[in-house]
Amino acid sequence: MKKFKKIISILFIGVFVIFSSNSVFAANQITDKKDKAFVIVNGQEIVYEGENYDNPNTGEYIHWTGERSSDKDFTFKIRYSVQSSKFTVHSSKVLITSNAHIENVYGNVLSGYNGHLYQVTIDGFYSRALQFSVGSSQSGTIKGLKNGGSYRVTIINNDYLDGNKYLVGSGSVSPL
């Protein structure tokens, strides 16, 4: 009986040591991004605040570009919709500027899509949206934001496109 208790005790201590060391190794693998806000895309991919999002399966992306002259400049390529990581807005009112065109899967610009509709939203606690159309650079104002608040940009393709076409463009979020 004493031998049995001794074996159980040793096994218990061994299991405890194994589980403790695994959590230590896992803690060492956490990067310095652990304090950053993030969004989980497609149920598995983590995109941290201020980072670009790329979907290699569909070719869709949203990339941050530019300097600090505006709150955020971005480029995008979508079929349906894509959402950015969080960024900070430095005003309660912003100017959204965007332009876009339609490309095929080979990157060739396609004509005949002027007027094709897409939406740019600023998502925080509430979503605020502006409707744009392909063919020219357009802008609009969004009010009622929290100065210093965290928001995301979402680009939504409102009109139907064949599976071999993309809505490609750029835009900016500038404080007013």
Give 41-60 pLDDT, tens digit per residue. 544 455 555 567 777 788 88
> In sequence order, which residues have a C-beta less than 8 Å from that of residue 105 and are 6 or more positions away?
59, 164, 165, 166
Same domain, 10 and 72: no
Query: Tell me, what CATH number does 98's domain have?
Result: 2.60.120
Does the structure show a pLDDT above 70 at 13? Answer: yes
Please report the pLDDT score of residue 76 as a whole number: 93
Are residues 119 and 130 in contact, defined by beta-carbon separation less than 8 angstroms? Answer: yes
Same domain, 83 and 131: yes
Cα four-point dihedral sign 54, 81, 63, 106:
positive
Q: What is the mean pLDDT of residues 146-174?
A: 91
- State the total domains in the chain: 2
Same domain, 57 and 116: yes
Residue 41 domain flag:
no
Please report the pLDDT score of residue 23 as a whole number: 43
Which domain, by its residues, includes 14? Answer: 2-31
Residue 42 domain flag:
no
Same domain, 115 and 73: yes
Backbone angles phi, psi at 97, to 5 degrees: -120, 140
